[in-house]
């Protein structure tokens, strides 16, 4: 995602990471933003000090945009959990209204091990480096798998 401003541009990850959510919960907005920025038009490297030098309005608008996307997804969490149960049961989706959610769940299905844990993660790095949106889908799949297996 590229954000353009009068001073330049900032390229961020497409969605907020789990690490950034934890940092925001603990009140560390600069750390949260620095974990989401991939590159920018500044000559300086992306680190917490240089990110802290950004204008507050720019940093705020980027974080608000990323959080808005994540919050919209959380509003549909119950629907995602029902779709996850359908994916686990091998059922297909009848209408295309929620096809995007269904396809994401279907794509992430191989990430679950036969025991209900994660055999691998969709993005490189650990759980903290994963997209928070993808983790909503993975956790819904894991919950549906546990219900099916009676755990």
Domains: count for the chain: 2
Last residue within a domain, chosen from 53, 74, 95: 74
- Say yes or no: 105 and 117 in one domain: yes
Q: What is the pLDDT of residues 103-136, one digit of tens each?
A: 999 999 999 988 888 889 998 889 999 999 999 9
* Same domain, yes or no: 97 and 69: no
- Do 114 and 129 fall into the same domain? yes
E-assigned strands of the chain?
2-5, 8-12, 37-40
17 and 55 housed in the same domain:
yes
The 10s digit of each residue's pLDDT in 69-101 is: 999 999 999 999 999 999 999 888 777 888 899
Residue at which a domain ends, from 37, 56, 74: 74
Give the CA dihedral 38, 67, 14, 93, nearest 10 degrees: 160
Q: Are residues 7 and 70 in the same domain?
A: yes
DSSP lists the bridge partners of residue 10 as 3, 40
pTM (predicted TM-score): 0.85
Residue 122 shares a structural domain with residue 94: yes
83 and 145 fall within a common domain: yes
Count of Cβ atoms closer than 10 Å to residue 140 Cβ: 25
Question: What is the band of 151 on the pLDDT scale with cuts at 50, 70, 90?
Answer: low
> Which structural domain, as residue segments, surrounds residue 66?
2-74
């Amino acid at each position: 995602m590229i954000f353009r401003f009068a001073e330049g541009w900032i390229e961020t990850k497409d969605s907020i990471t789990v690490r950034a959510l934890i940092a925001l919960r603990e009140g560390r907005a600069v750390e949260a933003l620095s974990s989401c920025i991939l590159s920018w038009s500044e000559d300086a490297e992306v680190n917490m000090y240089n990110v802290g030098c950004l204008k507050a309005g720019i940093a705020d608008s980027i974080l608000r945009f990323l959080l808005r996307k994540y919050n919209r997804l959380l509003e549909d969490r119950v629907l995602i959990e029902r779709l996850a149960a359908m994916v686990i049961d091998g059922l297909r989706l009848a209408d295309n209204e929620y096809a995007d959610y269904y396809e994401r769940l279907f794509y992430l299905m191989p990430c679950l091990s036969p025991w209900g844990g994660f055999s691998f993660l969709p993005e490189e790095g650990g759980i903290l480096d994963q997209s928070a949106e993808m983790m909503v889908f993975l956790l819904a799949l894991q919950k549906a798998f546990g219900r099916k297996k009676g755990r």
